Amino acid sequence: SAVISQKPSRDICQRGTSLTIQCQVDSQVTMMFWYRQQPGQSLTLIATANQGSEATYESGFVIDKFPISRPNLTFSTLTVSNMSPEDSSIYLCSVSGSGELFFGEGSRLTVL
Amino acid sequence: QKEVEQDPGPLSVPEGAIVSLNCTYSNSAFQYFMWYRQYSRKGPELLMYTYSSGNKEDGRFTAQVDKSSKYISLFIRDSQPSDSATYLCAMSDGGGFKTIFGAGTRLFVKA
């Protein structure tokens, strides 16, 4: 199993600002995943973060809006840029192990 | 059409009831089927994991997969208030790297 810590757990942000979410894992992992969970909608993969290379983004998500850093094998950040109310959501960091996904507790963002 | 369809509920049942949660999917390449449980203000946690068709039982929980109908189910027997959570079905074609989730069903078990 993996223990994943995310910061911040929640935040209220103003339209047009940017916020960076941090994800720390208690073991070294090759890939880290960032998901978005909007009310009433499916948990949706934003991107896969690989250490030492550019993140791979899913359809509908772009690097300019969601820049990701992966400086080492236990840490990653996701930035939500130029936020609008539509970005209000829970953002979850995840890692894979033995066919199972492990998740952090999520970062709940509210954009006013 | 969404790849995975799941009724978001909410579903409210009395304690001790049998709960049936379901998902349908469209991609016949899916081989791995999972149920995650998510408590309020927490991340999802894996509850059940099934490969291909068939049933799997773990205590009060039974997962069923019918690949011919592209239909998966989770049954909870003798439901408890502590089972109150959101249940997300999930599936992948292998490796866990590209897992597709349903929207989740909110379950409330009343004491």
pLDDT grade for B98, boundaries at 50, 70 and 90: confident
From the list B42, B96, B102, the residue facing A100 with the nearest CB is B96
Residue B87, classed as helix, strand or coil, is strand
Report the distance separating Cα A77 and Cα B102, nearest Å.
25
Bridge partners (DSSP) listed for residue B101: B90
- Which candidate, A96, A95, A92, places its Cα nearest to that of A105? A92
CB–CB contact B88 A43 (8 Å):
yes
Average pLDDT on B63-76 reads 96
Checking if the pLDDT of B60 tops 80, the result is yes
CA of B26, closest CA in chain A: separation in Å? Answer: 15
**pLDDT score at A100:** 83
pLDDT grade for B20, boundaries at 50, 70 and 90: very high
Checking if the pLDDT of B24 tops 70, the result is yes
Average pLDDT on A66-77 reads 95
Checking if the pLDDT of B96 tops 60, the result is no
**pLDDT score at B59:** 96
Contact list, A41 vs chain B (CB under 8 Å): 103
Instruction: Report the residue of chain B nearest A30, measured CA to CA.
Output: B97
Give the tens place of pLDDT for each residue, A11-61.
Answer: 999 999 999 999 999 999 988 999 999 988 889 999 999 888 889 999 999
* CA triple A41-A44-A49, angle to 5 deg: 160
Residue B27, classed as helix, strand or coil, is coil
pLDDT grade for B95, boundaries at 50, 70 and 90: low
**pLDDT score at B94:** 72
Checking if the pLDDT of B36 tops 90, the result is yes
Q: Which two tokens stand for residue B42?
A: 């927490």
- Which candidate, A82, A95, A104, places its Cα nearest to that of A10? A104
What's chain B's length in residues? 111
How far CA A37 is from CA of A40, B78, B88, in Å, comes to 8, 30, 12
